[in-house]
Homo-oligomer: A and B are copies of this chain.
């Protein structure tokens, strides 16, 4: 529960991999899949999704493949997850759509919607660059804390 799907995981891993190889113009789905031992065809579809959503640029033909459409710092984990798994909501029903099908009194949702927003905020504050591993000076200084506020 409250778990990322494997697809989203794969997507994040792939973007991370691409971010770590900026020197190359493009990497094929197969290359990335092999690097992590992910089913190639599955990853291919995921990358296609990410392309359709503007997170990647793709190029067919020999030496083709995928590359980040933007700087790794400008792509958030939230976007990736959203592109792959669609809009997410903590609660099954959300007032957004056709409000709650359960009896009128499904009042628990409103507070949880705030939790939902908070989590989304956290995910939005994480970029692919944050996930990638770059050399860091020993005794590396970590970035400043991010503060997320939650109002009930």
Give the number of times this chain occurs in the complex, counting copies: 2
Number of interface residues of A (CB under 8 A): 52
Contacts of A3 in B (CB 8 A): 1-2, 88-92
Inter-chain contact B5/A1, CB cutoff 8 Å? yes
Inter-chain contact A105/B35, CB cutoff 8 Å? yes
Residue of B nearest to A8 (CB): B1
Chain A residues near B (Cβ < 8 Å): 1-6, 8-9, 12-13, 16, 35-38, 77, 81, 85-86, 88-92, 102-103, 105-108, 111-112, 115, 118-119, 122-123, 125-126, 130-131, 133, 142-143, 145-152
6 closest A-B pairs by beta carbon, nearest first, are: A1-B85, A37-B103, A2-B88, A145-B149, A146-B150, A148-B148
